[in-house]
Amino acid sequence: MREARVIALAGVLQGCRLVHEIATSGRADAGSIEASLASVFRIDADSAADVFGGLTGVRLGLETLVAQFDGAERNLPLTRLVLGVLRLQRRLARNPRMLRALSEGIGAIKHQADHYGLAHPTVQNRLAELYVSTLSQLRPRVIVHGAPTQLSNPQAVAQIRSLLLAAVRAAVLWRQVGGGQLRLLLRRREYAMLARGLLTRSTLDRG
């Protein structure tokens, strides 16, 4: 269960890091984007790792977790994004009507994702629209800071919103496996150590 919590939290960090990179530079790792977006549609996965298609799918998140929890310098904008996403998930958990709307919306988009692929702009635009009509209505909103050229680019904005949806999906998983604010505060070093072990295992799996 501890590993499941680390994987779920890494999923949150991965989604938020991808959002931050796209908002600031317009570029992010394509494989990690696909793994995070795919997690939105894996509602009944057998394990936390399966939500991301295996440990390699959340590798960027595990690396980010180690850097943020046990590194010399933390990325403060990324920390604020993560806290905003976790707060948003708590608001969502108290809104059964919105949970139903999200579930129905994801089900409707899945057909297009299966047909076009997750990288297709149509799929990302649909996920972004779902985010705007649901999670974006909750307060306080998640505020994304970045370069004006990226934040005024419709394609980048759609990708940011779709990845915020993926980050919230990982936050839902984090709660489902027993994650919470107190654990996050008290077990940072332990989570970083477990993440290192999972990174080693994901390298062996790839090799």
**Cα-Cα end-to-end distance for the chain:** 26
Please give the mean pLDDT across all residues of the chain.
Answer: 93
Number of domains in the chain: 1
Structural domain span for residue 123:
2-206
The pLDDT value given to residue 99? 96
- Dist CA 98 CA 141 (whole Å): 15
- Percentage of residues in the chain with pLDDT exceeding 90? 84
Q: CATH number for the domain including 195?
A: 1.10.3890.10
More confident residue, 175 or 202: 175
For residue 109, what pLDDT band results from cuts at 50, 70 and 90?
Answer: very high
The pLDDT value given to residue 207? 52
pTM of the full structure? 0.95
Other Cβ atoms closer than 10 A to 178: 12
Indicate whether 184 pLDDT > 80: no
pLDDT digits (tens, 9 = 90+) for 139-174: 989 999 999 999 999 999 999 999 999 999 999 999
For residue 123, what pLDDT band results from cuts at 50, 70 and 90?
Answer: very high
pLDDT digits (tens, 9 = 90+) for 56-108: 999 999 999 999 998 767 899 999 999 999 999 999 999 999 999 999 999 99
Indicate whether 20 pLDDT > 80: yes
For residue 206, what pLDDT band results from cuts at 50, 70 and 90?
Answer: low
